[in-house]
Amino acid sequence: MSDNISIEVAYALPDKQRIVKLHVPPGTTALEAVTLSKLDEVFGELVVGPDLKIGVWGKAISADRVLAAGERVEIYRPLMVDPKEVRKARAAKAKAARAEGDQDASGASDADASD
């Protein structure tokens, strides 16, 4: 009977995804699993290193975290846009649209008053 544990390593782009199933010895770290997955050979832009952003089941972890059986290591891509900035811009646009709508409504009531 093997002492290895089963884990998965996942990486995804908008148009291409890959999940690699591995059997690794107990004590394997997340970064070691990513290296063993050889996903950097499938995805040329992926650079495996200690500063790689990774997680397990959607929660960020450090590269030296020891994996447990059944876990899936997820390799995270860098964000193209800061989500906070997107929310701020959307809120500012909505605020401007509301202010414009208020001006239109007050202009219409002024026209009614002159009749």
The answer, yes or no, to whether residue 103 has pLDDT greater than 90, is no
Task: In whole angstroms, give the CA distance from residue 97 to residue 103.
Answer: 10
Judge contact between 46 and 40, C-beta under 8 A. Answer: yes
> What's the whole-model pTM score?
0.67
Token pair 């782009």 is found at: 13
pLDDT in tens, 65-78: 999 999 999 998 87
As a CATH number, domain 5-75 is: 3.10.20.30
Task: In whole angstroms, give the CA distance from residue 55 to residue 69.
Answer: 15
Every domain of the chain and the residues it spans: 5-75, 79-115
Q: What is the DSSP letter of 28?
A: -
